Amino acid sequence: MQHDVNTLGSAPVRASSQARWRALIHSPLALPLAGLVVVSLLMGLASDNFFTVSNWLNVLRQVSIVGILAVGMTFVILTGGIDLSVGAAMALAGTLSAGLIVNSGLPAPVALLAGIALAVGIGLLNGALVAWGRMPAIIVTLATMGVARGVGLIYSGGYPISGLPGWISWFGVGRIGMIPVPVILMLVVYALAWVLLQRTPFGRHVYAIGGNEMAARLSGVKTTRIKLAVYAISGFTSGLAAIILTGRLMSGQPNAGVGFELDAIAAVVLGGTAIAGGRGLVVGTLIGAVLLGILNNGLNLMGINPYLQDIIRGVIILLAIYIAREWR
């Protein structure tokens, strides 16, 4: 009889364990983590230098700019939108900051803040046109991408603006202990984004809009304000990324950031966020960004032709999206 009791008592435990495993397997983080592990192992087998602390810190430093851009992109995509202007906004913000310092004599901290404010303004413009103007996000941000890129080239005359104070390089190449400053800034941004999305009503409203905007509106969510806010957040992350890039290059580069918007979108999608919105985690975006960085780093360590690298990355992204769709 005691044996029967133990058997019956263990059934709920097994059922609970199985439920936890099913929840883990179907979590938005399951596939990104699996991909990260598999790609890391493959790259480690291909290169003896891959699993070293210095190489991993280098990978994180390299992905920091795209990783920060991807945070803002996550907010936008969760609402069912897209922001193609992040790379151009970053370039314009960095160029303006450098120009205000070098050509206008503005104090560097004020100039850097002005660059961030400009990027936020571009985000607000995008949000206003999408939320209030009811224009397609892809068209709006494609247009503002072109405008921002053109304004940056006109402002700088098409040339980099150099001659910045030496301390600005700290944002791009500095270290605290052995950890690169850009990596620390990236992790802080992700931590703040996680709190905002997972622990505040604002975050719940972001997910609600992406899941069903009409239902969210009928339930009292201020959808236009939320959309305006998420595009402003995307602008802010572009401005912060601009400071890091300016510090790394020690100049304002009007041609910088070309293609960064596509890398940011790829990081979000590889991280498990549904491109249609309403589903995903910002932690997944971090995993997606690191996955892209590992892939780039490993292909470089193996000496793969740069043109072939583009093909490999494209195929892997397509495969990841297909697998994610079938998995769900």
Coil, strand, or helix at residue 302? coil
Q: How far is CA 325 from the centre of its chain?
A: 21
Alpha helices (H) along the chain: 2-25, 30-46, 53-78, 86-102, 108-131, 137-156, 169-173, 181-198, 201-211, 213-218, 223-249, 260-270, 282-301, 306-327
Does residue 214 fall inside a structural domain?
yes
Does residue 113 fall inside a structural domain?
yes
pLDDT at 78: 97
What dihedral angle (degrees, nearest 10) is formed by the CA atoms of 153, 155, 157, 161?
-100
Does residue 269 fall inside a structural domain?
yes
- Give CA–CA dist 122/9, Å, rounded: 60
Task: Give the bridge partners for 176, in sequence order.
Answer: 179
pLDDT at 38: 87
Task: Give the bridge partners for 161, in sequence order.
Answer: 252
Find the domain containing 177 and state its range.
54-327
- We report the CATH number of the domain holding residue 221 as 1.10.3470
Does residue 18 fall inside a structural domain?
no
Cβ neighbours of residue 86 closer than 8 Å, sequence gap 6 or more? 69, 72, 73, 234, 237, 238, 241, 257, 260, 261, 264
Print pLDDT tens along the chain (328 aa): 455 545 555 656 565 666 665 655 567 788 888 888 888 898 888 878 888 888 899 999 999 999 999 999 999 999 999 999 999 999 999 999 999 999 999 999 999 999 999 999 999 999 999 999 999 999 999 999 999 999 999 999 999 999 999 999 999 999 999 999 999 999 999 999 999 999 999 999 999 999 999 999 999 999 999 999 999 999 999 999 999 999 999 999 999 999 899 999 999 998 989 888 888 999 999 999 999 999 888 888 788 888 888 888 788 778 777 776 655 5
What is the number of other CB atoms lying within 10 angstroms of the CB of residue 304? 14
- pLDDT tens per residue across span 261-286: 999 999 999 898 988 888 899 999 99
Total number of domains constituting the chain: 1
Does residue 19 fall inside a structural domain?
no
- Give CA–CA dist 191/282, Å, rounded: 9
pLDDT at 203: 96
- Give CA–CA dist 302/71, Å, rounded: 30
pLDDT at 14: 60
- Give CA–CA dist 178/81, Å, rounded: 38
Does residue 254 fall inside a structural domain?
yes
pLDDT at 18: 62
Does residue 23 fall inside a structural domain?
no
Does residue 187 fall inside a structural domain?
yes
pLDDT at 200: 96
